[in-house]
Amino acid sequence: MLRPLKWTDEELGRLKLLYISERSFEEIMASFPRRSPNAIRLKASRLGLKRPIIHASLMQSSILLCSEGNGNSKGYLYRCRECGSWMQVNKEVEASDNAVVCSNCLSTCYFIT
């Protein structure tokens, strides 16, 4: 029986970032070509990572306010008009130039504050 590949520190860091993001599971799988979907889910579970849940009615919006749950804002989520992926933007970036580059398709998205 083959022994499973040990997860590297780089893979663990990437998994922690991607798994909790709004990226599709297919995109996450593509980032780990040497890992099966089950291995990815199992490792995420063992690390205590959870996929975000966004209600279907919110998915129709293009801008969402992020909150810490106590009324304090963590910034905004912007939906890319080109590929539909979500980007989190904190207030400091928002105030600087009103533009953000999508990490998925690299298009520049502009917004009005």
Q: Are 63 and 106 in the same domain? A: yes
Q: Are 86 and 40 in the same domain? A: no
Distance, CA of 12 to CA of 80 (rounded, Å)? 27
pLDDT of residue 23 exceeding 50: yes
Q: Are 60 and 34 in the same domain? A: no
Burial of 64 (0-12, 13-18, 19+ CB in 10 A): middle
Say what the pLDDT of residue 58 is.
Answer: 47
Instruction: Give the count of beta carbons closer than 10 Å to the beta carbon of residue 44.
Output: 18
Quick one: average pLDDT of 91-109? 67
Say what the pLDDT of residue 37 is.
Answer: 94
Q: Are 20 and 60 in the same domain? A: no
Say what the pLDDT of residue 82 is.
Answer: 75
Residue-wise pLDDT tens digits, 36-85 = 999 999 999 999 998 877 555 444 555 555 555 555 666 777 777 777 77
pLDDT of residue 92 exceeding 80: no
Q: Are 41 and 70 in the same domain? A: no
- Domain of residue 24: give its range: 9-46
Phi-psi domain of 71 (left: phi exceeds 0; alpha: psi -120 through 50; beta: other): left
Say what the pLDDT of residue 94 is.
Answer: 45
Q: Identify whether 104 is part of a domain.
A: yes
Q: Are 105 and 62 in the same domain? A: yes
Is-above-0.85 flag for pTM? no
Q: Identify whether 72 is part of a domain.
A: yes
Say what the pLDDT of residue 95 is.
Answer: 45
How many structural domains are present in the chain? Answer: 2
Q: Identify whether 4 is part of a domain.
A: no
Q: Identify whether 51 is part of a domain.
A: no
Q: Identify whether 106 is part of a domain.
A: yes
Q: Are 66 and 22 in the same domain? A: no
